[in-house]
Amino acid sequence: MSRFPPFAALGAVLLCAVALSIQARAETGAEAWLRYSALPPQLAKRYAQFPTSAVVLGDSLVLKTAQKELARGASQILGRPFSADNSSLSHSAVILGTLDQLHDLAPNLNPPRGMSNDGYWLKSATVHGFHCIIVAGTTDRGVLYGVFALLSKIARAESIASIDEIQQPYAPIRWVNQWDNLDGRIERGYGGPSLFFADGKVRDDLTRAGQYARLLASIGINGCTVNNVNADPRILDDNFIAQVSRIADAFRPWGVQLSLSVDLSSPKAIGGLDTFDPLDSKVADWWRKKVDEIYRQIPDFGGFVVKADSEGRLGPSTYGRTPADAANVIARALKPHGGVVFYRAFVYNHHLDWRNLKNDRAKAAYDNFHPLDGDFDDNVIIQIKNGPIDFQVREPASPLFAGLRHTNEAIELQITQEYTGQQRQLCFLVPMWKEVLDFDMHVDNPSARNQPTPVKDLVAGRTFHRPTGGFVGVADLGMDANWLGSPLAMANLYGFGRLAWNPNLSAETIIDEWTRLTFSADPVVLHTISKLQLSSWHVYESYTGPLGAGTLTNITGNHYDPAPESSEENGWGQWHRADHTSIGMDRTIATGTGFVGQYPPAIQQLYESLATCPDNLLLFFHHVPYTYVLHSGKTVIQHIYDSHYDGAERARDFISQWKTLQGHIDEERYRDILARFEYQAGEAVVWRDTICNWIYRLSGIPDEKHRVGSSAPSP
């Protein structure tokens, strides 16, 4: 007879079944980097002293989330129970609380002073005679961030035995934008329909919205704008605000503030006024009442994002007013509640005359906003795309970062890969973002002469001591199980959050963390995935747009297929000016559009001269003959041919690199990603042949290596 009573035997069977199903769970990518997979026993042993319960020093919603997350993560990773009890400190525990609460519990501890908002302290210490791990934040949200950081360390088997670590965010603004339409589609979204909206309403079931907020919080992101910057005015209807407040409820436990994109014409479009002139007192009144109503329903509302006078959107120019007039009228309504306005610098005329060689879309942001520096209220933030055009595979840093000294700024980076393969092709963007963030703009700063002025410091408000500023990522996650449409693309969301928290992290560190958490610490996995991710931007660039010509894609259509002719002879201004002798946009001061003149003098010098302009931006700044010889010693045309062949070859090699992982990772993701690499290899050949044949037909210059033109009509 069994030693176990029947129900206990059944329980044991069930437990085994649960254990097996956990082990064999389908890896859809839904858990992203929060898989909390069990450490192998020999590594779990390192945490033998890790407490088995948490003591929480407060009872706020966010602290409770922190406590639950810790219990969930610690029990899963260490494979033993972890209780989230609330009782007082009577045994070894993880202590969760704000610095003030910690002081009340243990006045003798010396917590760090002067930490910035949302910062945290992880400390191993003896408290009331018990061995404890302290997770103390300047805010409740800081405690939650500290819990995620602690779990990440354990999941990566990092020692925490004598931990004493302070972490604080580089900037207060760490937001994502979603370009979700109310009908449930997402503009430039490649991961399925909206998490928030369907059929013109907020979804009934917002479970995924809550899970999204958890992902965001785990990497320190504190705000999310849920609707498209091409905003539907109905979002501000009273009945819609009530619906949207349910999304804020889903975000709140994770400390993520909800914000909305708004249409500047709303006072007229939905407000019943006959004007939306920002200087009209009726309009100011309308915004004030609307904002008061929003805060009545969403007390922790973050603010508004505004796209105006751009790509057909109405704006202050309708009444001869400036972006500052428009931003300030809204900012003043938000100010008493602590809200902010993100006014996008992406303001340009998309009906530019392409025949005029002096016209240049790249100049628009600086031309529109630099003259207004100092006119914006201090709760306005100018949201500036990383480059002066539009998320191309390579662009220089926008000169506007250096053009605002008395105005808050945020950099806008695109996580969704609109122009970089739409998640169907691998393109890890952190190395690109780092080049921009680390780029020294050489701004003359009288209070700190000769100090570097990198973009990361300008946007964080550090250079000119601004009250706020930071980082915004256009994310566009959707209802697909793996969120972005591809498990590997989630490295871009992770990387954005990590850089927004600390832009000094290296791309190598970020991808190492992400790979360990998303896959495993198996050295083959770490080596292969890091190598693939870190090389992917250069590979993608080399077969879609080398030398800074921009992504030579179908710009009037899907922004995906190669279609170099679509850039020319229209008003969109993404011109490369290729003709039968030469290629590139002359943006010099001497002979071109003068765009170079928008940079500080040291940067002007760098880009103005062919002698110093880096090869990888040559065609962004200069118009040169195909026979022009690069710093590398190759001609432009031969470089273009070689780069496309090399890129396509390297894309094909992604397949064999990936194949080394068979048996090292789960079969689901192995097969899914293998199929993507096989597809990408084919696409790279399509790109290679389209661009090489096009440029060969235009120039008539043969490829020295006799690869190009065999099937193209002779010139």
Q: Which is nearer to ligand GCV, 309 or 586 (CB)?
A: 309
The span from the CA of 349 to the CA of 315, in Å, is: 12
Residue 560 or 654 with smaller CB distance to ligand GCV: 560
397 in Cβ contact with 383 (< 8 Å) = no
The reply on whether position 350 binds ligand GCV by CB under 6 A is: no
What DSSP line would sit under 614-642, residue for residue?
Answer: -GGGHHHH--EETTPBPTTSSBHHHHHHH
Q: How many residues bind ligand GCV (CB under 6 A)?
A: 10
Interface residue with ligand GCV among 71, 109, 149, 229 (CB under 6 A) is: 229
Residue 314 as a binder of ligand GCV (CB under 6 A): the answer is no
Residues 6+ positions from 61 with CB-CB distance below 8 Å: 252, 253
Q: Please pick, from the candidates 188, 335, 370, 424, the single residue that binds ligand GCV as defined by CB under 6 A.
A: 188
Active site amino acids:
311, 390, 418
Dihedral over Cα of 408, 413, 415, 417: its sign: positive
In the bound state with ligand GCV, the residue whose beta carbon lies nearer, of 472 and 665, is: 472
Report the nearest approach of ligand GCV to the CB of residue 179 (Å).
5
Give the integer Cα–Cα distance in Å for 175 and 430: 16
Min dist. Cβ of residue 474 to ligand GCV (A): 7
Residue among 392 and 598 whose Cβ is closer to ligand GCV: 392
Could you say whether residue 28 binds ligand GCV (CB under 6 A)?
Answer: no
SS3 letters across 23-83: HCCCCCCCCCCCCCCCCCHHHHHHHCCCCCEEEECCCCHHHHHHHHHHHHHHHHHHCCCCE
In three state form, how does the secondary structure of 211-273 look?
HHHHHHHHCCCCEEECCCCCCCHHHHCHHHHHHHHHHHHHHHHHCCEEEEEECCCHHHHCCCC
In the range 122-181, which residues lie near ligand GCV by CB under 6 A? 179
Q: Which range in 14-22, 224-232, 369-377, 420-428 contacts ligand GCV by CB under 6 A?
A: 224-232
Element (H, E) at 696: helix 667-699
- For ligand GCV, the binding residue among 187, 325, 568, 672 (CB under 6 A) is 187
Q: DSSP state, 553? A: B
Instruction: Give me the least distance between CB of 350 and ligand GCV, in Å please.
Output: 9
Is 346 a binder of ligand GCV (CB under 6 A)? yes
Q: What size, in residues, is the chain?
A: 715
Residue corresponding to tokens 């406590």: 67
Whole-angstrom distance, CA of residue 241 vs CA of residue 258? 12
Report the site for ligand GCV in 374-413 (rule: CB under 6 A).
Answer: 390
Asked if 75 is part of the footprint of ligand GCV (rule: CB under 6 A), the reply reads: no
- For residue 108, give every residue at least 6 positions away whose Cβ sits within 8 Å of its Cβ, in sequence order, or none: none
Which residue stretch of 35-43, 57-65, 223-231, 581-589 sits at the interface with ligand GCV (rule: CB under 6 A)? Answer: 223-231
Of 225-233, 544-552, 561-569, 687-695, which segment contacts ligand GCV by CB under 6 A? Answer: 225-233
CB-wise, 118 or 263, nearer to ligand GCV? 263
Q: Which stretch binds ligand GCV (CB under 6 A): 50-58, 227-235, 283-291, 354-362?
A: 227-235
- Residue 503 backbone phi and psi in degrees, to 5: -70, -5
Closer residue to ligand GCV in complex, CB, 229/327? 229
C-beta closer to ligand GCV: residue 229 or 484: 229
Report the nearest approach of ligand GCV to the CB of residue 188 (Å).
5
Dihedral over alpha carbons 100, 105, 109, 115 (to 10 degrees): -20
**Could you say whether residue 230 binds ligand GCV (CB under 6 A)?**
yes
Based on the shown chain and the rule CB under 6 A, indicate whether residue 307 belongs to the binding site for ligand GCV: yes
Report the interface residues with ligand GCV, using CB under 6 A: 179, 187-188, 228-230, 307, 346, 390, 418
